[in-house]
Structure 1
């Protein structure tokens, strides 16, 4: 039986987080949860060049953000952790033509609490001593979809099903492992780097899952399309790239 604990943060999906109190133009950026720390650091860098822009971030799973946009949420820029969600929006004509491109790449890792021992790789998860494994919900969370691909290719998906603890986004997977509510979890290397409470025990081979690509696009209904384009381009500039690289992201 799969345990779904992700509902505890569902109410945060529609919460926009302002990072600057003043500005004549407001830009709402909906981004995958794995981008939380890096985009918060990049925000002030963009503010230096465009002090009149007030950035508001909305972080959640890419699937949840996709549904918000489909339901008419006021979003200017969308950054997904997988192509699937961006493809769905593009097929519905919700992206501003000519603004979609791939921004970043990432890698998956198997993590355990820092003081844990006994789990050294994916095959270790078969042990009877391992009771709870945190993964993103494959129905809506890209890291969960990648996790399912990995575990299926390793012949572990069905075997481990009774142990899964489903999370609403990759940061919740990380929290479950940090707190000890799960003995292991599958996250991006960039998430593992944000805390000293977990350790990486295996870098997942890239050939076990689809390429991890972060596409970015301006939403067709943006009220500030020119500013949205400008911010999107800024994220490909040298200043932003240096921050992305420091956090462990690859440049697409």
Structure 2
């Protein structure tokens, strides 16, 4: 984010104050009682926010949007989508903060000033909508992903698929309490009747990215991640890091892997946030997602 000098800050303050004072002085005389006064106060608050944004624009300041996005989206956002969006939208900067969807949900509940949230599971988004922290009308179920079983590349393994995962000495999966990939893994292994066996030898990661790293560096014999994670890991550098042994099909999972995106109710940059959400649904952005291994949710 760019830093501004004292002069620019003073200009912004003066412009914002002038707009707010001007709005406060508008309206017919004698309309200062009852519900009308409450409505004027509410309208004044909203106008003040808009006035502040207008003042920033007049002072030449850039708008910065923060998107809280699932860890499995970090590479595609940082490497491609953020530069593309900023180039197409001069005056709007985009920043990302990445973690497990459960952790991001808790951060938003605790006051994280994110403008958009993009989750790797609909359950986290649904909770924030129910709590009034994400605008339900803005939510779009944008992408699909697959869950895959991986092992370190070039290492002999006793594992051939999900069914015999208990043969591994150390299994890496996301923590089912907060990591959607871990919840999907738990669902798959429970359906196969081997979750308890696997859990006894499991290392639980705080994000799917951590699980991927453990397998890629060989500290875990096998792991469960998204197909996009395996693709990204193998595209970094010349050497292939992981081998995909199996992909979970619909018969193994009741819950589809859906990535929803929505605008938070606390943002005072709704127009810019909508511009970003529209961009993420564009053909240009969707081509990037598909290239990274995601599927459009149609």
In the superposition, the TM-score normalised over structure 2's length comes to 0.75
Q: Secondary structure at the match of 2:232?
A: coil
Q: Determine helix, strand or coil for the equivalent of 1:215.
A: strand
Native 8 Å contact 2:82 2:95 kept in 1: no
In the alignment, what sits opposite 1:125? 165
Match of 1:208 in 2: 252
Structure 2 CA distance, aligned partners of 1:154 and 1:111?
Answer: 17
Q: Deviations over 1:74-106 (max 9, x none)?
A: 000000000110011011011124101101000
1:84-123 to structure 2, matched below 5 A, reads 84-118=123-157, 119-123=159-163
Higher strand share: 1
* CA distance, structure 2, for counterparts of residue 120 and residue 135 of structure 1: 17
CA distance in 2, matches of 1:133, 1:144: 12
Q: Distance in 1 between matches of 2:266 and 2:128?
A: 12
1:156 equivalent to 2:194? Answer: yes
CA-CA distance at 1:170 after TM superposition: 0.5
**Aligned equivalent of 1:237:** 282
* Alignment root-mean-square deviation, CA: 1.5
1:21 is displaced (CA, Å) by 9.1
The answer for unaligned runs of 5 or more in structure 2 is 5-60, 234-239
Matched, 1:185 2:223: yes
Q: Does 1:36 align with 2:81?
A: no
Q: Which of 171, 182, 197 is residue 241 of structure 2 equivalent to?
A: 197
> Do the aligned residues in 2 keep the contact of 1:21 with 1:54 (CA within 8 Å)?
no
Q: Stretches of 4+ moved more than 6 A in 1?
A: 20-23
Q: 1:124 Cα shift?
A: 2.7
Deviation at 1:123, TM superposition (A): 2.4
The TM-score normalised by the length of structure 1 is: 0.89
Give the Cα–Cα distance (whole angstroms) in 2 for the partners of residues 97 and 107 of structure 1. 26
Out of 122, 133, 136, the position equivalent to 1:83 is 122
Q: Would you say 1:60 and 2:99 are equivalent positions?
A: yes
SS in 2 for 1:185: strand
Deviation of the 1:117 alpha carbon: 2.1
| Alignment equivalent of 1:74, drawn from 107, 110, 113 | 113
Higher helix fraction (1 or 2)? 2
**In structure 2, what is the Cα distance between the partners aligned to 1:37 and 1:242?**
15
Does the Cα contact within 8 Å between 1:45 and 1:239 map onto a contact in 2?
no
Aligned-pair CA distance for 1:181: 1.1
The count of residues paired between Structure 1 and Structure 2 equals 232
| DSSP 3-state at the match of 2:213 | helix
Question: Counterpart of 1:139?
Answer: 177
1:167 alignment counterpart: 205
Q: Which runs of 5+ in 1 are unaligned?
A: 1-17
Map Cα deviations across residues 213-252 of structure 1 (whole Å, 9 max, x no partner): 0011000001211110110110010110110000010101
1:107·1:206 contact (CA, 8 Å) conserved in 2? Answer: no
State how far apart, in whole Å, the 2-side matches of 1:173 and 1:163 are. 14
1:205/1:109 CA distance change after superposition, 3 Å: same
